[in-house]
Structure 1
Amino acid sequence: MTAPHCHALYTVAQVRTLDRRAIETLGIPGYELMRRAAAAAFASLRRRWPEARRVAVYCGPGNNGGDGFLLALLAHEAGLAAEVRALAEDARGDAAQARAACEQGGVPVRRWDETSTLPPADVHVDALYGTGLNRPPPPTVAALIERLDACGAPILSLDVPSGLNADTGHCPGAAVRASLTVSFIAAKRGLHTGQAAAHTGRIELATLGLPESLWQEAPDARLLEPATLPPRPRDVHKGRNGHVLAIGGDHGTAGAIRLCGEAALRGGGGLVSVATRAEHLVALNAGRPELMAHAVNGPQALEPLLARASVLAVGPGLGQGAWGHALWLTALDSPLPLVLDADGLNLLAIEPRRFDASRQVVLTPHPGEAARLLGCPVAEVERDRFAAVRTLAQRFGAVVVLKGAGSLVADPDGRLDVCPWGNPGMASGGMGDLLTGLIAALLAQGCPAPDAARLGVGLHARAGDRAAREGERGMIASDLLAPLRLLLNGPDA
């Protein structure tokens, strides 16, 4: 059963407010919340690893450690062999009560230091740090984390994998690579983007039986949910499904603009034209005759195509030379809805402009392109992807998709959505070209820019997951076209 609020993502500050409200306003003692968290996590452990007989729990001095002490006690009471390794000789606040209960219940608790070894266990439980850590773990703890990650046994993380920033998804140092993370009260946004994908494993949310009255403020972001377009009217014709004009494909890059055009076709665009170099026409016409390929040697040749188009997809294979720059300028001066990618974004970084609020514009940078647009190092973008994508949306007056693990979609008004799908097989050339064409096709069919971006990102990632059923390594961009078509036509696909 899906947990309530499982698609709502909160900042660490918001989660602390919820926690405080539960204690101070609803009158639920902190120790009771700790007991509920331990029970929820232990239930998840038993579901995931029903054959486990030995559990080792690693506890920090704070409330996350308190959850761990109580989980160890529950495991012991259930007949499992449980033991604890603690980072400190004592604990603080409610965690001190939890530690005392654990020790009094007969669970061995030993201090962890640099000479310690991991105890034998079927499951290791990470209760080292909660949401408060935003710096690298100290060397002794980093060594423990590295041993856990290398041990080969499954790891259950309580609330957040230790070492992962729960606000941003960035790991400033060593971080636990969990098999399962059970997050408490509310979903933390940082568990769903960036480096988090390599550390959280499966994520489960336990709201700890708290009443609906606790959730009084809007979440910071939301996870996308599966969606597609409604069935087409029976009397529809191609003119009602829009005309996408894909602009790009400089010398040697015909593949990029073809992938963009094919995605626009498979995304449901009624007509798709391609403005490209003359040398590419034969290959495009032979390989995909449904694309209307045109030789364009400059802005004057582009103008008639603009007059017939309803949406522009600009950037795949465009280049940054005189030819690409001239076409880019002409496209940006048009009032038509626009999807800008690749060199279209690199040119925008060189010659920035803010788009008029009345124009439907979607930018689709990867972290490197985002860094160029922001004038900062890539590492700064990856340290806080949420801040980066919101800044881009506000600066350029456009909907922005920040691609990568847990792609983000931001509106200029501050709304932010996170994509929960996708896989490492999609880390290959041409995937971004497909996304550009797909979003353009959705715009052409009448979706407003924010909806086109959210729906396009979701469909693209879900198609990638379907294609990956045959294996992630070796997957290529065109493998997504067939599953994309299925997803666009099946409400439950």
Structure 2
Amino acid sequence: MSHFLSDSQIQNNLYDVDTVRKIDQAAITELNNESIKLMKRAGVAAFEELIQAFGQPRLISVFCGAGNNAGDGYILAARAAEKLIPVQVIELGDSKKFSTETSQARQFAEQNNVNFTNLDKSLDIKQGVIVDCLLGIGYQGALRPSYDQAIDLINHAGLPVLSMDIPSGLNANTGSVEDNAVKADLTITFIGAKQGLFTGKGTALCGEIIYHSLDISEPLFSKFKPSAQLMDVSRLLELMPQLQGDEYKNQRGHCMVVGGDHGYGGAVTMAAESSLRVGSGLTSVATQPEHVSSAIARCPEVMAFGVISGQQLEPWLKKPSVLVVGPGLGRSAWSEQLLQKAVASELPMVLDADALNILAQGRVIKKITKPQWVLTPHVGEAARLLGVSAQEIQKDRFSAAQKIHAKYNAVVVLKGPGTLVVGPDQLTKICPYGNPGMATAGMGDLLSGIIGGLIAQGLSLQAAAELGVCLHSCAADMLVDDAGYRGIAATDLLPYLHQLLNQESL
């Protein structure tokens, strides 16, 4: 479900690790180089969030590594002991390698009579709350066996888990996991929110995300450029054109969906219906003749016509203002002909599904002369567009989206948990909405139609992609709130799309 940041200072800005370190150092300079002050603020803030989220536990078990992340954990443990809450620290780090601040933090815990223990195979935690302070934002590469063992113990304890700054094992820059990672119920992130928390594995591992600035002055943040930004559906809805009262349908654009090879007629129909639901004045479908009657029966507001070749499609391309090409398109000669004619029209296009696979082959479209495209690949299609493996895409989704944008000079929507949008301004936008129930057939067709319908109404490609992604995922969240995750069908989202577009505030 959605992630929420509790501090307005962040303003949805996200940062890579290098920038967070620079902000951290600048903040320490403002504190006369007393970095222990930030560590104390982090530990106390996390303790307060723990109590608010889980109540007063019978036991707090804090897993500490060797970095400053461990120092935050020692402060939390000391705070818990001050409040007479039973607490133990399971230590994996070598104290000889501690920073001065982490050593000070451990001394605070020791002065408050915190119980320290080493990781042992016989360790069995059966009650309370677990706090993960094993690895911080600097982690990368393979896990040491003891850390792998500790992560397994945390994940299999069946207890609530709070991660400090980032779940151990998660890459703060990419949202990927090399070996193993803690699955948290709550992640408290400090200084600057890390971009890797919000995409890829981050969405599955972080649980609820709460941000704390640690009382760093807001002007300090303005000195540092974010690497990514969370999208806000309420703000994006402000981009929708105002209805003046004297419009007619042609003024609200015409979105044409091209696709639906033999046996795939449902895809174009879903895309067309979602285009209508977001307000496109006219929506049409160009498909195999066998699908025309079913398209009209499903959605009589759609204009549907059959085409058996690219030549038959050509005269129809004079009518629409935007094309959605790819839902159910297939990879036949018919598919390639339709895509060729669509590209030749030089109309704005949303390319999805097999249109992306044909594009990746490089035979049909050899040269991109006047791109006005939104590309909406999932991980497999992204891999084909770049000629790499799906694993390589997932290893760094940010880099992959940027590379596709550079290669095709298009707005890119890299779908998946924490969908990314990259456009001309180069700042990666992340969708903070969505849920696991969306992993079902037809969701991509719905999204492509939504984006096409928004472009038809005059939104820029970038704005349509951003708003379309957020509407799509928010509608899915609303559906899940009403009906649960399991058994969702893509078209179940359509009534919620209508609600979203007509809500005065979210």
The TM tier, using the shorter chain, reads: over 0.9
**Displacement of 1:414 after TM fit?**
1.3
Q: Which residue of 2 aligns with 1:11?
A: 16
- Percent identity, aligned pairs only, is 44
Q: CA deviation at 1:103?
A: 1.1
Aligned partner of 2:361: which letter?
A: I
Give distance in 2, aligned partners of 1:177 and 1:411: 32
Choose which of 332, 351, 354 in structure 2 pairs with 1:340. 351
Deviation at 1:43, TM superposition (A): 0.8
1:222 aligns with 2:222: no
1:80 is aligned to: 85
Task: Measure, in 2, the Cα distance between the counterparts of 1:313 and 1:190.
Answer: 31
Question: Does the Cα contact within 8 Å between 1:408 and 1:416 map onto a contact in 2?
Answer: yes
- How far apart, in 2, do the equivalents of 1:170 and 1:309 lie? 41
Amino acid at match of 1:480: L
- In 2, Cα distance between the equivalents of 1:28 and 1:3? 26
CA distance in 2, matches of 1:27, 1:335: 59
Match of 2:429 in 1: 417
Matched residue SS, 1:187: coil
* Equivalent residues of 2:321, 2:347 under 8 A apart: yes
Measured in 2, the distance between the counterparts of 1:364 and 1:88 equals 44
Q: CA deviation at 1:116?
A: 4.1
Aligned residues: 491
Superposition deviation, residue 89 in structure 1: 4.5
Which consecutive unaligned segments of at least 5 residues does structure 2 have? Answer: 1-5
From 261, 265, 272, the equivalent of 1:261 is 272
Deviation track 1:265-294 (CA, whole Å, cap 9, x = no partner) reads 111110011000011111112221111000
Q: 2:208: which partner in 1?
A: 202
User: What amino acid is aligned across from residue 224 of structure 1 in structure 2?
Assistant: M
State yes or no: 1:451 paired with 2:463: yes
- How well do the aligned residues superpose, as a CA RMSD in angstroms? 1.3
SS in 1 for 2:459: coil
**Which of 141, 145, 163 matches 1:157?**
163
Deviation at 1:453, TM superposition (A): 0.2
> What per-residue deviation string (whole Å, max 9, x for no partner) do you get for residues 62-94 of structure 1?
100000001000001011001101103513321
- CA distance in structure 2 between the partners assigned to 1:473 and 1:355 by the alignment: 42
Q: Provide the secondary structure at the position in 1 that maps to 2:10.
A: coil
TM normalised by structure 1 equals: 0.97
Distance 1:188 1:354 in 2: 37
Q: Which residues in structure 2 correspond to 1:74-223 (within 5 Å)?
A: 74-90=79-95, 91-113=98-120, 115-215=121-221, 216-223=223-230
Q: Distance in 1 between matches of 2:257 and 2:354?
A: 13
1:231, distance to aligned residue in structure 2 (A) = 4.0
The 5-angstrom pairing of residues 6-85 of structure 1 reads: 6-85=11-90
Aligned match of 1:486: 499
**Distance (whole Å) between structure 1 residues aligned to residue 441 and residue 94 of structure 2:** 52
2:481 is the counterpart of 1:475: no
Deviations 1:17-43 (A, max 9, x none): 111111235525111110000011011
What is the alpha-carbon distance in structure 2 between the residues aligned to residue 438 and residue 214 of structure 1?
39
Q: TM-score, normalised by structure 2?
A: 0.95
Distance in 2 between the 1:201 and 1:355 partners?
A: 42
Contact kept in structure 1, 2:134 and 2:168, CA below 8 Å: yes
8 Å contact kept, 2:267–2:442: yes
Q: Which runs of 4+ in 1 moved over 2 A?
A: 24-28, 118-121, 352-357
The answer to which of 296-305 and 167-176 deviates more is: 296-305
Could you tell me how far apart the structure 2 residues matched to 1:51 and 1:130 are?
A: 26
Q: Using the alignment, how far apart are the partners of 2:126 and 2:156 within structure 1?
A: 13
Secondary structure (helix, strand or coil) at the match of 1:246 reads strand
Amino acid at match of 1:79: L
Aligned to 1:182, what secondary structure does the other structure show? strand
Distance 1:354 1:401, change over 3 A: farther
Residue type matched to 1:391 in 2? K
